[in-house]
Amino acid sequence: MKLLVTGASGLLGINLALEAMSAHEVAVVDRGKLSGTPFRIVRADLLDAGAVDSVLDAAQPDGVIHCAALADLEACEADPDLARRLNAHLPARLARACKARGIRMAHVSTDAVFDGSKQGAYTEADVPNPLGVYAQTKLEGEQAVGAEYPEAVVARVNIYGWSPSGKRSLAEFFYNCLSNGLKASGFTDVTFCPMLVNDTGRILVKMLEHGLSGLYHAVGPQPMSKYQFGVEVARQFGLDESTISPKSVLDSGLTARRAPNLWLSTHRLSTALGEPLPVFSTGLDQFYAQFQQGYPQKIRSYQQM
């Protein structure tokens, strides 16, 4: 399959492209942040007029995985217009263009579309109630893709891993702080289901290969607090977990509201794929193995200074 990945300079895009290239012909869309990658780079800003059509016509992909987004919650609050253009309007145009060309499409969304008030796990049938600009615009993107291209697949994710900038994921935050002798805090009242980004990338490709359509939760199967996550990272790397302070998100001073419970059921996706989703411990082991093998340096080497 000829695969086109958008948002290639981000945490998910770069890792997904590297995972997919072992079995597929991969091209990525990048505005000029990457160089020296082992896959083809199509230079474009997808917000430019006509860019979506020209990129698809140039790449001629069989499938598109749309990872590009404004994912910084505080940045979305500061510039809601840009957030809406990237997170809602762009997915709509891409879905329309993919449908017109018969290109399979996977659109990446977020667990943050829920307000976290439910006790227990959210399913795909639960009604979202986004709390901030990021969550609202991502929900609008989901809805737009579903309306424009019902055969597309939408995946809600929550990821961690090594990024080109070295500071895009929560795992990197904890590692960077603790390995440099700095203190960190972790929210005890925010529950989520993190998945190693490489696992997420492989699953997104499988979703296209299986011809799935509609909405799926593609997160880790194990819920935990962000504080617990930090402790697990510290233990894996042999760092001092006592330097992580338990903290309430209510005392964080962050502008964008965070949902307290983002436990998502993955039953629908694991059933559709016919296999269980990767467990947290396996992903964390791989995250550490990547560190030992120099993978973070490899990822960072693709980012232009």
What pLDDT sits at residue 255?
78
Strand partners, 223: none
Q: Which residues contact 270 (CB under 8 A, 6 or more apart)?
A: 221, 276, 277
- Structure tokens of 283? 């992903």
- Do residues 152 and 213 lie in contact, with contact meaning Cβ atoms separated by under 8 Å? yes
CA atoms within 13 Å, Cβ hemisphere of 81: 0
Cα(187)–Cα(284) distance, rounded to whole angstroms? 19
Largest CA distance in the chain: 55
Residue 196, pLDDT score: 98
60 within 8 A of 97, measured Cβ to Cβ: no
Q: What is the pLDDT of residue 305?
A: 58
Q: How many CB atoms are located within 10 Å of the residue 102 CB?
A: 8
Q: How far apart are CA 29 and CA 66, in angstroms?
A: 10
Q: Do residues 186 and 230 lie in contact, with contact meaning Cβ atoms separated by under 8 Å? A: yes
pLDDT tens across the length of the chain (305 residues):
999 999 999 999 999 999 999 999 999 999 988 999 999 999 999 999 999 999 999 999 999 999 999 999 999 999 999 999 999 999 999 999 999 999 999 999 999 999 999 999 999 999 999 999 999 999 999 999 999 999 999 999 999 999 998 888 999 999 999 999 999 999 999 999 999 999 999 999 999 999 999 999 999 999 999 999 999 999 999 999 999 999 998 887 777 788 899 999 999 999 999 999 999 999 999 999 999 999 999 999 998 75
User: What are the residue boundaries of the structural domains of the chain, listed by start?
Assistant: 2-301
Residue 166 pLDDT: 86
- For residues 32 and 26, give the distance between their C-alpha atoms in angstroms, rounded to a whole number: 17
Residue 211 CA neighbour count, 13 Å, CB half: 1
The tokens describing 197, both together, are 């980004």
The model carries a pTM of: 0.95
Sign of CA dihedral 106, 34, 138, 99: negative
The CATH number of the domain covering residues in 2-301: 3.40.50.720
Joined tokens for residue 219? 């997160």
CA distances from 277 to 3, 19, 66, 122, 265 (A): 22, 16, 21, 16, 11
3-state secondary structure 231-273: HHHHHHHCCCHHHEEEECHHHCCCCCCCCCECCECCHHHHHHH
